[in-house]
Amino acid sequence: MKADTMEAKDVMTHCVISLTPETPVAEAIARMLSQHVSGLPVIDARGQLVGIVTEGDFLRRAETHTEAPRRRWLELLLGPGRGADAYAHTHGRTVGDVMSTEVVSAHEETPISEVVRLMEEHAIKRVPVLDSNARVIGIVSRADLIGALAQYLSTTPDLEESDLGIRRKMLAEMRHQTWCPLQSVGVDVRNGVVTLKGTIFDERQRRALLVLAANVEGVKRVDDQLTWIEPMSGFVVESPQETASASQSVDANS
């Protein structure tokens, strides 16, 4: 596929971790920190996108005494609503209190050129991707776009098509498997090397995903970067490859 025909679905991250309006602010922050992301979409009980929460929503908080100074003349000019809204934002305890409700989104078939235009026009770093039923199926961040560019620049056209074909075959197979945590696992393919990243909630899913990837024609190697989170305790276990890499780093610095 040529770069000028790429669509949101070709570059988006499928591992969309979302929040609900009822999610406590503390939990939202914990998820953002644990997943190393600066923003998350907010989805209601119907599965519809109703807002987005980013780092910027937590810059001014009562707990850190960073609220914006009150300007009484502005309240007199604009009415009490502005001050009330600011108070709810800086003191709110749920995501619904602090989220931005004016969300810029894209369709899965939106060209990436349009996604970039939306990012620039609205000065945002991420765009949720919706399907035909207006449900969130992915998200395109600046990092995803940079990754797509890096892949395009580092491969020949034929190899690019091969990598894209491998990724599509993997995602198609993952969608057919009920055990597969598609929403929390991302797939990247470069030069025939598949990188699995994201979160699993049962260690047995790791082995199955590695087998699935290895069985896709054209795959040369599988790089396991999956993190296992034990649902009951919240205990986090890094992938064996990540652990080994960290151990080698420690040995080298000893």
Three-state DSSP string of 119-161: HHHHCCCEEEEECCCCEEEEEEEHHHHHHHHHHHHHCCHHHHH
Whether 240 shows a pLDDT value over 90: the answer reads no
Q: What is the pLDDT of residue 81?
A: 62
Asked if the model's pLDDT at residue 129 lies above 90, the reply is: yes
CA–CA separation, 211 and 29 (whole Å): 34
Quickly state the pLDDT bin for 14 (edges 50, 70, 90). confident
Torsion of CA 188, 189, 195, 201, to 10 degrees: 50
Q: Cα–Cα distance between 89 and 244 in angstroms, integer?
A: 43
pLDDT at 75: 56
* pLDDT beyond 90 at 143: no
- Going along the chain from its start, the domains and CATH numbers come out as 3-148 (3.10.580.10), 157-253 (3.30.1340.30)
Instruction: Give the bridge partners for 43, in sequence order.
Output: 49
CA 17 – CA 53 distance, rounded (Å)? 12
pLDDT of 102 > 70? The answer is yes
Q: Does residue 35 or residue 246 have the better pLDDT?
A: 35
Of 133-137, 156-160, 207-211, the poorest mean pLDDT is in 156-160
Euclidean distance between CA atoms 36 and 143, whole angstroms: 12
Give the residue-averaged pLDDT of 67-90. 63
Contacts of 65 (CB under 8 A, 6+ apart): none
Q: What percent of the chain has pLDDT over 90?
A: 37
Query: What is the per-residue pLDDT for 253?
Result: 45
Q: What is the pLDDT of residue 252?
A: 42
**pLDDT at residue 15 greater than cutoff 90:** no
Q: Provide the pLDDT for residue 197.
A: 92
Over 60: is that where the pLDDT of 23 sits? yes
pLDDT at residue 6, as a whole number: 84
191 Cβ neighbours under 8 A, 6+ residues apart: 154, 155, 159, 163, 220
Which pLDDT value is given to residue 254? 46
In the predicted structure, residue 25 carries a pLDDT above the cut 70: yes
pLDDT at residue 111, as a whole number: 92
Q: One-letter amino acid identity for 56?
A: G
Across residues 113-125, what is the average pLDDT?
92
CA distances from residue 221 to 133, 211, 212, 247 in whole angstroms, order as listed? 36, 11, 12, 22
Cα torsion through 219, 15, 13, 33, rounded to 10: -120
Q: Which positions ≥6 away from 115 have C-beta within 8 Å?
A: 8, 106, 127, 140, 145
Check whether 207 has a pLDDT greater than 90.
yes
Characterize 158-182 residue by residue with b for buried, 16 or more Cβ atoms within 10 angstroms of its Cβ, and e for exposed: eebebbbebbbbbeeebeeeeebbb
74 versus 182: which is more confidently predicted?
182
The answer to whether the CB of 7 falls within 8 A of the CB of 166 is no
Q: Answer yes or no: is pLDDT of 209 > 90.
A: yes
Mean pLDDT in residue range 59-73? 65
What is the average pLDDT value for the chain, to the nearest integer? 82
Task: Give the pLDDT of residue 213.
Answer: 95
Which helix (H) or strand (E) segment holds residue 175: the answer is helix 157-176
| CA-to-CA dists, residue 140 to 16, 67, 70, 110, 148, angstroms | 10, 31, 36, 11, 11
